Structure 1
Amino acid sequence: MGAKVAVIGAGYVGLTTAACLSSLGHKVVCADVDQEKVDALRRGEATIREPGICELVVDGLASRRLEFVLGASAAAAGADIVILCVPTPMGATGAADLRALESVVTELRELLPPGCVVVNKSTVPVGTAARVAGLIDRADVAVVSNPEFLREGFAVHDFLNPDRIVVGSSDRDPAPARRVAELYGKLDTAVLVTDSASAEMIKYASNCYLATRLSFVNTVAELCEYLDASIDDVTAGMGYDGRIGDAFLRPGPGWGGSCLPKDTFALLRTAESAGSDFALLRAAIETNVKQQELVVGKVRKAVGGDLAGARIGLLGLTFKAGTDDLRDSPALAVARRLAAEGAELSGYDPSVHAPVAGVTDDVRITGTAYHAANGAAAIVLLTEWPEFRDLDWARIADRLGGSSVIDTRNLLDPPTVTRTGLAYQGIGRPDSAGTPLSRTADMVGQVG
């Protein structure tokens, strides 16, 4: 028989956690403070763009293993385990803002059933589990850390096919940690049970390592441009090394999203508070800002050296393909820099159908990629939506006022673009990138 689980928060992490746990046989009540969101979920309408999530929600509702309620208090009553999936955004100083988490904990403190386990799944600074335990201040309620490792666009897959489950508990009694680990008992994966501080650190260390790796490959790509080398071949060669692998070795316009920016700043602030100089992480953050500036420089050069009054078409606005998430999108960071220099921006994204106040203000949203190209001096691909590969580039060429394509994701096939008379630029690719790309294809074919 499954556990009775309350999930507090129905965002990317909360909704995925609730829907997936219900699919594993647990009785789950998921709470949110947004009445419209709760109503939509009760109707079986997924409120996030994630493959598989809608089906899990519908199945959970039909089986009565999944329920959605308004407010944390309504969810916690009778729960064996309460999982906190509330936002922990970056505050003004760069540290994580824990006010929402602390508010929920304070609200639930007296309502938690005896013997209940409270689980921190939100990404929180090291020491937060102990802080939450202090706020609850009940000997009959344990606090456990259970960080999430979900990629947007692959969240359901990652939840049900995890690389590992990490559970951390500061209690001398290991039973609460075991109870949380048992939630995932049907999943075939490694389970690491540790102390709560180590569990919290694992999450930050993982994300900050990935951010550092992306900054590294962007810097290598810049060097490739100076030396007339191909980043495609360089990363292919690196990826065959088992010590390195090929994940997170794709250059781009900088990293972003809801996790990496806030987590890198949060760990940097944590290090500073502990008296440690995390120079490598600081350099990764600075390199990421520089990467956005380098992209703007490419666009500026492509339109003749002055962006004032230049019409620029943007392809992609979300922080990555397969999601509708605009939070800390590097595409929008580049757009802001272009707009600050006077560029007039039109943009298309498959998942952004209307302007978002305070987020896309610098960009006129269009209905198609071709509309974004109308009269533009250059077109800039900023998000790696696969459909952009299949655009009719001759049609794009006819609509452009200029002739430049800047592909910040190295998504496109350069010869396909240049055959239309357009000038192609990638990241870390020679301007005539057809030959190096062909070498990579030949090499992969021979090895395979």
Structure 2
Amino acid sequence: MKVAVFGTGYVGLSTGVCLAEIGHEVVCIDVDERKIDLLKEGKSPIYEPRLEELLIKNSIEGRLAFTASHQQGLREAEIVIIAVGTPQSDDGQADLSFLEQAAKDLARHIVRDCIVVVKSTVPVGTNEYLKQLLLGQLKNNVEIKMVSNPEFLRQGSAIQDTMKADRIIIGSDDEGASEKIQEMYRPLNVPFLLTDVRSAEMIKYASNAFLATKISFINGISNLCEAAGADVEDVAKGMGYDKRIGSAFLNAGIGYGGSCFPKDVKALLHTSRELGVPFSLLEETIAINDHQQELLVRKAMKRLGGLKGKKIAMLGLSFKPNTDDMREAPSIKIAKSLTASGADVAAFDPVAASNARKVIGDAITYMDSAMEAAKGADALFIVTEWEEFRLLEIASLLEVMKQPIIFDGRNCLDEAALKACGTIEYYPVGRPAVIMKDKNI
């Protein structure tokens, strides 16, 4: 099939690359000419495992192309996927301006009948609104059919999540359009759920809001565990064995971030208020997450008796490992709280430092390694659970620190290895602290 994809962010680029990989002819369209030039050179503008490898492969094999020209990109398209951003507005609702612009560009340049697939996360009713927008601005006599096809990708595993999806949601009021999109995805051999457009739109928000609520719940439990002397990891494991609950998203820590959970929970809450349907559970989910993101700062203040003049090492800046995405990353709030309290912050992240600098600025110092960040530190924060942090030689790290104090916001260090280090103070989330004093001291 001949497919055009609007947008080359995480969703659009991953979708385009994977559709090319399963045999379709794909053209990705983006108004950012700098980004298009990079893609034509075989370079991905975002960090995502395997993405650049498949981008190069399918470009060489002639199934994947990139353009900033709507006319060129839409010339032969029978399926047009819209995967542009729907960021959060100041009032919490989804900002549809990029989506509206994509629809207007599509209406001006489409020259053949096509199916418009909205993959962007949008409030209920948006597909109907976009169809009216499209029909009102069409320049050529063509037929447009609409399909809602929400994405469920995770940064850091977007390729895996596309190629081996749990399910593909297809929402449409046109049977022929649904069948065509099923045909496009059929080589992936994953389950389909066919539904109406509005239900498909709601499925995306409901899924993300539920997962965010699950994270906030276990973080609430972790705070109770600390106060009661229980171990949240054992509690979560015991809960997870129950098939009705499951073990996924029961990792206690310093809260969720990223491009989806924060904005989608707030957008769904905005929809509930707009429709006059109270949804206080979502309000509490947001409140717990906001509180949890500053947990390490509160712990450090209590232990150090204040932060003014203290050096804090931060390991991890991206909102999760295997991505350079800084959107709503807990590190942003942590860094700002630390510097506002008078601390000097030295941070290291394997891939996100450049993006972090754009968001956090030069209020903190960006280092080239974990060891450099830890040198002379009064305490060390683990903010993102990169695999290389799990594998750190902790004893060597402690030797260069001023004080051997670690606050682990992701519970990613091995306690047995920590206890072998001699003198150390280790403060995880929702678990008893490990405080070891060298017997020779």
- The answer to whether structure 1 residue 429 and structure 2 residue 431 are counterparts is yes
Opposite residue 341 of structure 2, the aligned amino acid is E
Q: Does 2:81 correspond to 1:83?
A: yes
- Cα distance in 2 for partners of 1:252, 1:184 equals 36
Query: For each residue in 1:253-283, what CA deviation from the matched residue of structure 2 results, as whole angstroms up to 9, or x when unmatched?
Result: 1100011001011000011101011100110
State the partner residue of 1:274: 275
Q: Within 2, Cα distance between the matches of 1:408 and 1:18? A: 35
Equivalent residue letter for 1:244: I
CA distance in 2, matches of 1:108, 1:297: 50
Q: CA deviation at 1:34?
A: 1.9
Which residue matches 2:119? 121
- The alignment status of 1:315 with 2:296, answered yes or no, reads no
CA contact (8 A) 1:314 1:380 kept: yes
User: Who is 1:290 aligned against?
Assistant: 291
Q: Which residues in structure 2 correspond to 1:129-148 (within 5 Å)?
A: 129-137=127-135, 140-148=143-151
Q: 1:71 to 1:91 in 2, by over 3 A?
A: farther
Q: Distance in 1 between matches of 2:31 and 2:165?
A: 29
**Equivalent residue runs for 1:280-429 within 5 Å:** 280-304=281-305, 306-354=306-354, 356-418=357-419, 419-429=421-431
Instruction: For 1:66 and 1:111, locate their aligned partners in 2 and report how far apart those are by CA, in whole Å.
Output: 20
In structure 2, what is the Cα distance between the partners aligned to 1:128 and 1:224? 43
Distance in 2 (alpha carbons) for counterparts of 1:433 and 1:15: 47
Rounded to whole Å, the distance in 2 between the matches of 1:154 and 1:274 is 35
Q: In structure 2, how many angstroms separate the alpha carbons of the residues matched to 1:397 and 1:147? A: 46
Please give the alpha-carbon distance, in whole angstroms, between the structure 2 residues aligned to 1:310 and 1:71.
53
Q: Structure 1 residues 331, 101: CA separation in 2 closer, same or farther (over 3 Å shift)?
A: same
TM superposition shift of 1:63: 1.5
CA deviation vs aligned residue, 1:363-390 (integer Å, no higher than 9, x gap): 2110010111122110000000111122
Assess if the C-alpha contact under 8 Å between 1:81 and 1:116 holds in 2: yes
- Report Cα offsets for 1:194-234 as digits up to 9, x if no partner: 11110010000000000000000001111110111111111
User: What residue number does 1:437 align with?
Assistant: none
Alpha-carbon shift at residue 433 of structure 1 (Å): 9.1
**Partner secondary structure for residue 185 of structure 2:** coil
Give the secondary-structure state (helix, strand or coil) at the position aligned to 1:312. Answer: strand
Once the two structures are TM-superposed, the CA of residue 113 in structure 1 deviates from its matched residue by: 3.0
2:170 counterpart (167, 171, 195): 167
Structure 1 residues 35 and 365: CA distance shift in structure 2, 3 A: same
Distance apart, 1:415 and its partner CA = 3.5
* 2:194 corresponds to 1:193: yes
CA contact (8 A) 1:38 1:70 kept: yes
TM-superposed CA distance for 1:92, in Å, is 0.9
TM score, norm. by length of structure 1: 0.93
**Equivalent residue letter for 1:59:** K
Q: Deviations over 1:376-422 (max 9, x none)?
A: 11000000011112222222222212221000100001232242412
Amino acid at match of 1:292: Q
Alignment partner of 2:313: what SS?
Answer: strand
Cα offset for 1:318? 0.3
- Corresponding residue of 2:92: 94
Q: Structure 1: how far apart are the matches of 2:107 and 2:435?
A: 60
Secondary structure of the structure 1 residue equivalent to 2:278: coil
1:361 Cα deviation (Å)? 3.6
Residue matched to 1:444: none
The reply to whether residue 152 of structure 1 matches residue 155 of structure 2 is yes
Cα displacement (A) at 1:45: 1.6
Range with bigger deviation, 270-279 or 36-45? 36-45
Amino acid at match of 1:299: A
Distance 1:160 1:433 in 2: 45
SS at match of 2:143: coil
CA RMSD of the aligned region, Å? 1.6
Query: Which residue identity is paired with 1:87?
Result: G
Indicate which of 24, 27, 50 corresponds to 2:48.
Answer: 50
The residue number in structure 1 matching 2:4 is 6
**Contact in 2 for aligned 1:318/1:326 (Cα 8 Å):** yes
1:31 and 2:33 aligned: no
More displaced 10-residue stretch of structure 1: 294-303 or 349-358: 349-358
SS in 2 for 1:118: strand
Match of 1:183, SS state, is helix
Write the letter of the residue equivalent to 1:69: T
Asked if structure 1 preserves the Cα contact closer than 8 Å seen for 2:115 and 2:146, the reply is: yes
Aligned length: 429
* Secondary structure of 2:189's aligned partner: coil
Q: What is the CA–CA distance in structure 2 between the aligned matches of 1:193 and 1:242, rounded to whole Å?
A: 25
Looking at structure 1, the residues matched to 20 and 422 of structure 2 have their Cα atoms a distance apart, in angstroms, of 52
Letter of the 1:15 counterpart:
L
1:12-23 equivalent positions in 2, closer than 5 A: 12-23=10-21
Q: For 2:309, what is the secondary structure of its paired residue?
A: coil
8 Å CA contact retained: 1:118, 1:141: yes
Following superposition, the deviation at residue 111 of structure 1 comes to 2.0
C-alpha separation in 1, matches of 2:31 and 2:303? 47
**Residues 178 and 433 of structure 1, relative CA distance in 2, 3 Å threshold:** farther
- State the shift of 1:348 in Å: 0.4
- Listed one character per residue, the Cα deviations across residues 4-36 of structure 1 (whole Å, up to 9, x for unaligned) are 100011111011010000111111000112222
What are the Cα deviations for residues 158-203 of structure 1, in whole angstroms up to 9, with x where unaligned? 101011010111x3x3111221121101122211111111001000
Rounded to whole Å, the distance in 1 between the matches of 2:290 and 2:110 is: 44
Gaps of 5+ in 1: 435-448
Alignment partner of 2:325: what SS?
A: coil
Query: Percent identity over the alignment?
Result: 44
Amino acid at match of 2:431: R
Shift of 1:56: 1.3
Aligned to 2:439: none
